[in-house]
Amino acid sequence: MRYYSLEKLINLFDGYREVFKIDNHSLMLLQIDGQRYAVESSCPHREYPLTASDVVGDELVCPKHHYRFGISDGQ
Ligand code: FES
C-alpha cells in the first residue's frame, strides 16, 4: 500500500470537493458533515463527472441520470 498526500487538513471544509489523479484512478476527495471520503470521480453508469453530484442523506446522486451511491460503501 502506498501513501498519497492529497490535501492539507486545514484546507478541508464541509462541501469541499476536489479531483485527484493517482496512477490510473481519478478520485474525488470530499468532506460532508466533518467526514472525509475518497470516491471515484465519475459515475460508473456513463462516466459522468460526480463533482456536481448532490448529497442526499448518505448518498451521492449523479446529476446525469440520478443514480444513487452510498458515500461510505459505494452501494
Ligand atoms: S451517468 Fe450517472 S446515472 Fe447515468
Q: Residue 35 belongs to what domain range?
A: 9-70
Going by alpha carbons, the residue nearest to atom 4 of ligand 1 is 65
At 56, which amino acid appears?
A: V
Q: Domain for residue 1, yes or no?
A: no
Q: What are phi and psi of 45, to 5 degrees?
A: -75, -60
SS3 3: coil
Q: Domain for residue 51, yes or no?
A: yes
The pLDDT value given to residue 29 = 96
Q: What separation in Å is there between the alpha carbon of 41 and the centre of ligand 1?
A: 12
- Specify whether the CB–CB gap between 54 and 69 falls below 8 A: no
Tens-place pLDDT, residues 5-58: 999 999 999 999 999 999 999 999 999 999 999 999 999 999 999 999 999 999
- pLDDT band of residue 72 (cuts 50, 70, 90) is confident
> How many Cα atoms within 13 Å fall on the side-chain side of residue 3?
1
The pLDDT value given to residue 5 = 92
Q: Which of 37, 61, 63 is nearest to 48 (CA)?
A: 63
Domain total of the chain: 1
Q: Domain for residue 46, yes or no?
A: yes
Q: What global pTM score does this model have?
A: 0.88
Query: What does the block give as the cell for 17?
Result: 470537493
